[in-house]
Chains A and B, each alone.
Chain A
Amino acid sequence: MNATGDAIAAVVAAHGALRRQRLLRSGIGGAALLVALAASSWISEVRPDRLVEGIGGALDYLDRTMPRATGEGVVADLREWYWGLGRWVVLLLDTVVIGALATLMGATAAFALSFPAARNLVQSASLCFGTRRVLEFARAVPELVFALIFVFAFGIGPLAGVLAIAIHTTGSLGKLFSEVNENADHGPIEGLRATGAGWLQSMGFGVVPQVLPVFLSYTLLRFEINVRGAAIVGFVGAGGIGQELYLVIRQFIYPDISAIVLLIIATVTAIDLVSERLRHAVIGRENLS
């Protein structure tokens, strides 16, 4: 056998070894996934027959929520379907107000906390550490859990919803804001320090003008998420359209379910569209300056 043959054989052998190694690794990964899936299907009580039953039941449910044609014309049917439109629109407005107010409060708190939470903007490491842990806690506890607690403390109504969403917003926006702050250009800060500016002044004139457009666009994005959240917190009694939706689902008033869900989807979509245009306007201005 010549040298070329040896080289080819070596390459083929190495290739085979690599292939076997990859096969083994994906085999182990796949087996682990299968075991995990089997365990989760056991613990979450999933069985094939129930799966089929569940999908069939869902289709049946969907069919029942469809509005019925009574033969009195489309307008009469629509009026019958959306019999509570006036009340629902008021509740939807409440939901949007909950989302907007919570966004405003959360963004304000996040703005204040994002400076001590930025590692390169404060001297004291413990202040930074403490602020970050507070933000982490606010972010990690689900909105609905805060809502449950606040409904207990402040009673049923939108107040609990606003507070719950505001705290969660503080956590998630505070993290994003502090990361933006850390990436801000240090030149203006040093320039301001050189003129004798204090910490507050160098933040206000050195950092804020750089980061404000990004903050605004994140806040608008959060507003979109919060309107969705505001539609949900009503499930535990924290106001808005969610409270009504919970009621009609629990009382099996089928046509109302589809009517309200469609209204929520329409509202959320409309707000997404408006907010997207605003965000593009904000970012556009940022790119110009």
Chain B
Amino acid sequence: MTATESADAALRIAHPALFGPSPATRRLRAVFGALAVLAVLGAFWRTGFLDATRLWQGLGKLGWLLQFMLPPAHNGWLLDFLHALAETLGMALFGTALAFVIAVPLGFLAARNILPLNLLRFPLRRGLDGLRGIDTLIWALIFVNVVGLGPFAGVLAIAAADIGVLAKIIGEAVENADRRQIEGVRSTGAGRLQTLRFGIVPQVSPVILSNGLYFLESNVRSASILGVVGAGGIGQELSDRIRINNWDEAMFLILLILVAVWAIDTMSASLRMRLIGRASTRHIGDKRPSP
């Protein structure tokens, strides 16, 4: 062993961290890496991706479908399609409004500074959590059983799924309301209701308004697929067309949904800007990664 080599070995022993991960760490990493690869392979196997013939045949069928989808055509059903689209928009708007009418009082009640009784607030909040945990489409399936096929089931499903989320958002906004403003109103001799009206409501109403528009946008998306389980709207037409292999009409309906969603998003964004100003148009994508 030469002098440099022994010096090198001594350095390695004295400062192991400088020479990269130790053999034990490397082995551990290799084991974890192998396990991860195995897990992914297992997932591919379990979901049927390793069945090459099925995959190949499916892709072939998909290409065949695409040929039938283009060009999209309404084949004389345009008026029915537009009616279904109007139904979808109506379901979204009325469902959102219904959810709001119920969620605003519930949200105020779920706020600590409005209802100081833990005994009442706790079950209310758990109930709202339960509503929130169930997806709109599950609600739609249930309401189709309760009130029958049609857009009314969709309206109820949208409202039921949104009440929980909305009440939570409103409750949090009420709890986070600036105390100084509330105290200021109270110091002028205002009663409980007046404090609510002039101390809390002005702080909460922008939150309610902007969320109303957000929920409307997202509900137009939801309402467009609720028809798949029979709850009315354009989704019903779409799933019917797919079931009977009318692919050019299916594509036409998909494009119609895209245009409607885009139009509602644009309208709602401009309304939001006018009602509450620029600040609220910021969204999660604006977050810069820290340097």
> Contact residues of A with B, CB < 8 Å?
36-37, 39-46, 50, 53-54, 57-58, 60-61, 94, 97-98, 100-101, 104, 137, 140-142, 144-145, 148-150, 152-155, 157-159, 161-162, 175-176, 179-180, 183-185, 210-211, 213-214, 228, 231-232, 235-236, 239, 245-246, 249-250, 252, 257, 261, 264-265, 268-269, 286-287
Give the residues from 94 to 134 in chain B that come closer than 8 angstroms, CB to CB, to chain A.
94, 97, 130, 133-134
In this complex, the member of B86, B135, B224, B291 whose beta carbon has the largest number of chain A beta carbons within 10 angstroms is B135
Given contacts A44-B94, A101-B43, A152-B242, 15 further A-B contacts (CB under 8 A): A44-B87, A50-B152, A58-B142, A61-B142, A140-B262, A141-B258, A144-B137, A154-B61, A158-B47, A159-B49, A159-B55, A232-B135, A235-B228, A261-B138, A286-B290
Bound-state CA distance A36–B62 (Å) is 40
Give the residues from 233 to 286 in chain B that come closer than 8 angstroms, CB to CB, to chain A.
235, 238-239, 242, 250, 254, 257-258, 261-262, 284-286
Contacts of B180 in A (CB 8 A): none
User: Is B91 an interface residue, CB under 8 A from the partner?
Assistant: yes
Cβ contact within 8 Å between B289 and A180: yes
Contacts of A176 in B (CB 8 A): 284-285
Cβ contact within 8 Å between B151 and A45: yes
Residue A97 contacts which of B43, B59, B90, B93 (CB distance < 8 angstroms)? B43
Cβ contact within 8 Å between A249 and B137: no
Q: Mark B183-211, 1 if CB is under 8 A from A, else 0.
A: 00000000000000000000000000000
Closest Cβ of chain B to A16, distance in Å, is 21
Q: Which of B9-17, B18-26, B153-161 is found at the contact surface with chain A?
A: B153-161
Q: Mark B146-171, 1 if CB is under 8 A from A, else 0.
A: 11001110111000100000000000
What's the dominant secondary structure at chain B's contact region? Answer: helix
Cβ contact within 8 Å between B86 and A43: yes
Identify the closest chain A residue to B232 (Cβ).
Answer: A44
Cβ contact within 8 Å between B138 and A245: yes
Contacts of B44 in A (CB 8 A): 101
In this complex, the member of B62, B94, B142 whose beta carbon has the largest number of chain A beta carbons within 10 angstroms is B94
In this complex, the member of A50, A153, A246 whose beta carbon has the largest number of chain B beta carbons within 10 angstroms is A153
Identify the closest chain A residue to B97 (Cβ).
Answer: A37
Contacts of B146 in A (CB 8 A): 54, 57-58, 60-61
Nearest 7 interchain pairs by C-beta = A40-B90, A154-B58, A265-B133, A179-B285, A57-B146, A43-B90, A44-B151
Closest Cβ of chain A to B100, distance in Å, is 11
Contacts of A246 in B (CB 8 A): 141
Bound-state CA distance A228–B165 (Å) is 15
Bound-state CA distance A24–B182 (Å) is 29
Size of interface on B: residues with Cβ below 8 Å to A: 66
User: Is B225 an interface residue, CB under 8 A from the partner?
Assistant: yes
- Given the interface pairs A97-B46, A157-B48, A210-B289, the reply to whether A232 lies near B138 with Cβ below 8 Å is yes
Contacts of A144 in B (CB 8 A): 137, 225, 228, 235
Residue A148 contacts which of B54, B228, B285 (CB distance < 8 angstroms)? B228
Bound-state CA distance A268–B93 (Å) is 28
Bound-state CA distance A189–B135 (Å) is 44
User: Is B145 an interface residue, CB under 8 A from the partner?
Assistant: yes
Identify the closest chain A residue to B39 (Cβ).
Answer: A100
Closest Cβ of chain B to A93, distance in Å, is 9
Contacts of A236 in B (CB 8 A): 228, 239
Closest Cβ of chain A to B174, distance in Å, is 23
Closest Cβ of chain B to A88, distance in Å, is 15
- Given the interface pairs A144-B225, A232-B137, the reply to whether A40 lies near B89 with Cβ below 8 Å is yes
Cβ contact within 8 Å between A58 and B156: yes
Cβ contact within 8 Å between A61 and B145: yes
In this complex, the member of A145, A180, A213 whose beta carbon has the largest number of chain B beta carbons within 10 angstroms is A145
User: Is B215 an interface residue, CB under 8 A from the partner?
Assistant: no
Cβ contact within 8 Å between B142 and A45: no
Closest Cβ of chain A to B79, distance in Å, is 14
User: Is B52 an interface residue, CB under 8 A from the partner?
Assistant: no
User: Is B65 an interface residue, CB under 8 A from the partner?
Assistant: yes
User: Is B177 an interface residue, CB under 8 A from the partner?
Assistant: no
21 contacts between A and B (CB under 8 A): A40-B89, A41-B90, A44-B90, A46-B155, A50-B147, A50-B152, A98-B47, A145-B238, A152-B61, A152-B242, A157-B47, A159-B49, A159-B55, A176-B284, A179-B286, A231-B135, A235-B228, A236-B228, A245-B138, A252-B145, A264-B133
Cβ contact within 8 Å between B258 and A184: no
Q: Mark B39-73, 1 if CB is under 8 A from A, else 0.
A: 01001101111000011001101100100000000
Identify the closest chain A residue to B86 (Cβ).
Answer: A43
Residue A249 contacts which of B130, B145, B287 (CB distance < 8 angstroms)? B145
